[in-house]
Chains A and B, each alone.
Chain A
Amino acid sequence: GENVEQHPSTLSVQEGDSAVIKCTYSDSASNYFPWYKQELGKRPQLIIDIRSNVGEKKDQRIAVTLNKTAKHFSLHITETQPEDSAVYFCAASKYNQGGKLIFGQGTELSVKP
Chain B
Amino acid sequence: IAGITQAPTSQILAAGRRMTLRCTQDMRHNAMYWYRQDLGLGLRLIHYSNTAGTTGKGEVPDGYSVSRANTDDFPLTLASAVPSQTSVYFCASRPTGGSSETQYFGPGTRLLVL
Tell whether B75 is near chain A: CB-to-CB under 8 Å: no
Is A6 touching B102 in the complex (CB atoms < 8 A)?
no
Which of A43, A95, A101 is in CB contact (< 8 Å) with B107?
Answer: A43
8 Å CB interface, B55-88 against A: 56, 58-59
Which of A93, A95, A98, A106 is in CB contact (< 8 Å) with B42?
Answer: A106
Minimum distance in angstroms from B5 CB to a CB of chain A: 11
A-B contact count (CB 8 A): 58
Minimum distance in angstroms from A11 CB to a CB of chain B: 15
Is A105 touching B42 in the complex (CB atoms < 8 A)?
yes
Q: How far is the CA of A109 from the CA of B78 in the complex (A)?
A: 33
Tell whether B12 is near chain A: CB-to-CB under 8 Å: no
Minimum distance in angstroms from B106 CB to a CB of chain A: 6
Tell whether A25 is near chain B: CB-to-CB under 8 Å: no
Q: Residues of B contacting A1 with CB < 8 Å?
A: 59
Q: Residues of A contacting B94 with CB < 8 Å?
A: 99
Is A99 touching B31 in the complex (CB atoms < 8 A)?
yes
Is A98 touching B90 in the complex (CB atoms < 8 A)?
no
**Which residue from chain A places its CB closest to the CB of B91 in the assembled complex?**
A43
Q: Which among A44, A99, A104 has the greatest number of chain B C-beta atoms within 10 A?
A: A99
- Contacts A44-B90, A49-B101; A101 near B45 (Cβ below 8 A): yes
Q: How far is the CA of A44 from the CA of B92 in the complex (A)?
A: 10
- Contacts A98-B31, A100-B58; A43 near B106 (Cβ below 8 A): yes
Minimum distance in angstroms from B112 CB to a CB of chain A: 16
Tell whether A73 is near chain B: CB-to-CB under 8 Å: no
Tell whether B103 is near chain A: CB-to-CB under 8 Å: yes
Is A100 touching B42 in the complex (CB atoms < 8 A)?
no
Residues of B with Cβ closer than 8 Å to A?
31, 33, 35, 40-45, 48, 50, 56, 58-59, 90, 94, 96, 101-103, 105-108
